[in-house]
Amino acid sequence: MKAPFILHIDIDAFFAAVEVMLKPSLKGKPVIVGGMPDERGVVCTASYAARKFGVHSGMALRTAAQKCPSGIFLRGRYHIYSQISRRFFDFLNRLSPGVEGVSIDEAYIDLRGMQYLYPSVYQMAQSLKESVEKEIGLKVSAGLGFSKLGAKLATEVAKPGGFFFLGDERTFVSNLTLEKIPGIGPHTLLILQGLGIKRVKELESAYPSIWKKLIGPHLYSSSRYPGNTQGQAKSCSRETTFPEDISDREMIMSHLAYLVDRLSVYLIEHHLFSGRIEVKVRFSDFSTFTRRTTLEFPTSSYQHLWKTSLFLLNQLLKKKKLALRLVGVKVEDMMRQRDLLPFVCLKSEKLSHGVSDIRKRFGFSSIFTGRELFLEGIYPVEREGMVLKTASLTK
Ligand SMILES: [Mg+2]
């Protein structure tokens, strides 16, 4: 029988765990990272003590404060989280050539070829988990699987701090409800639920062809091994909730420009190009819309990303005649290599690289686009950028 060779590792309550590591008196306390209890915006991470009160990431800070009045609310120190994340991925990349980043604190590792060093694949996984914990000083949960889906679901069972292997993945998955399967979006879910289908096994017996499309690839596809993405996430996003709802279009554009600028810097620093871009808005009535498009060519240039995201923003603003409370942007389909491009495209990239070099020497805030300067009067400007109301980081 084939051995399970995919390990999924997820840092437990990442941001909150870092805060506890830096300030041990917080240990065991309900730590909530994301902002102050009376602020707009959402919880980024809640410690397990806070989760007992029903607080979870994505929840409005005010709701979290109601559920957990004793919560210790922190704004978060994102540059520290990024540093630890980098150490986490550097370490994984030294372990295996097949590391696929899922997000800032989560990755798949291809263990094939390493089993000869250990008595069994289970001992190997357990030992790798422990060495990761030692390296970053934080607890992680780990799942071993035949497929990425199986490994990720095993991690869910293992949380917090444990290690798990599902064994018979197909049976395990068939008993799950559909919303537990990554990649099944809310629309598909609604349609299937409308047909009276709640669990994977009901889908398999009633609509085997849909099962084959939605579930099969997760379990059997040849691409189920983690690809080497050098520890890079497949997508990267930046978003912010405004201190107050904004209806002024120029001001909304300035916020978006700043977020696009941050993304462009991220791409350049990581030697990546993005193939797709998505813009997200949330109106004052909390309705949220996204729109995405494939870029003309894969790029890291601010000018190109900005041009396309502005086009998407203008389409989104037509949806409702309301003020906005949040704007965000995401790049997807990130790649390291692309085909040769016409000279004209490279020009604006050279400009972005030049700007990036200046910022490396003198700090991010040493140079801004004119549009971004509108924000200077609203937010404090530090060396490494503006301090927006809610931090924006890939989750
Ligand atoms: Mg995590």
Centroid of ligand 1 to alpha carbon of 78 (angstroms) = 15
DSSP characters for 203-220? HHHH-HHHHHHHTHHHHH
Per-residue pLDDT at 139 exceeds 70: yes
First-to-last alpha carbon distance for the chain, in angstroms, is 37
Question: What is the pLDDT of the chain when averaged over all its residues?
Answer: 88
Dihedral (CA of 37, 42, 45, 47) sign: positive
Centroid of ligand 1 to alpha carbon of 162 (angstroms) = 13
Q: Taking residues 308-314, what's their average pLDDT?
A: 96
Centroid of ligand 1 to alpha carbon of 15 (angstroms) = 9
Whether 106 is a known active-site residue: answer yes
Q: Which tens digits make up the pLDDT trace of 208-230?
A: 888 888 887 777 755 567 764 44
Q: Which domains does the chain have, with CATH numbers?
A: 1-233 (3.30.70.270), 236-386 (3.30.1490.100)
Residue 238: its H or E element: strand 236-246
Per-residue pLDDT at 233 exceeds 70: no
User: Residue 231: pLDDT band by 50, 70, 90 thresholds?
Assistant: very low
Per-residue pLDDT at 339 exceeds 60: no
Centroid of ligand 1 to alpha carbon of 228 (angstroms) = 20
Per-residue pLDDT at 273 exceeds 70: yes
**CB under 8 Å to 282, separation ≥6 — which residues?**
241, 288, 324, 325, 326, 327
User: Residue 184: pLDDT band by 50, 70, 90 thresholds?
Assistant: confident
Residue 378 burial (CB count, 10 A): 14
Apex 69 CA angle, 66 and 72, nearest 5: 120
Q: Which of 39, 100, 106, 349 is catalytic?
A: 106
β-strands 163-165, 140-145 pairing:
parallel
Q: Taking residues 327-348, what's their average pLDDT?
A: 72
Output the pLDDT for position 395: 33
DSSP characters for 330-380? EEEEEES------HHHHHHHHHHHHHHHHHHHH-GGG---HHHHGGGGTS-
CA-nearest of 352, 255, 238, 268 to 310 is 255
Q: Taking residues 200-205, what's their average pLDDT?
A: 92
β-strands 324-335, 236-246 pairing:
antiparallel
DSSP conformation class of 53: T
The segment with the largest mean pLDDT, out of 13-17, 238-242, 350-354, is 13-17
Q: Which tens digits make up the pLDDT trace of 161-180?
A: 999 999 998 899 999 998 88
Centroid of ligand 1 to alpha carbon of 6 (angstroms) = 18
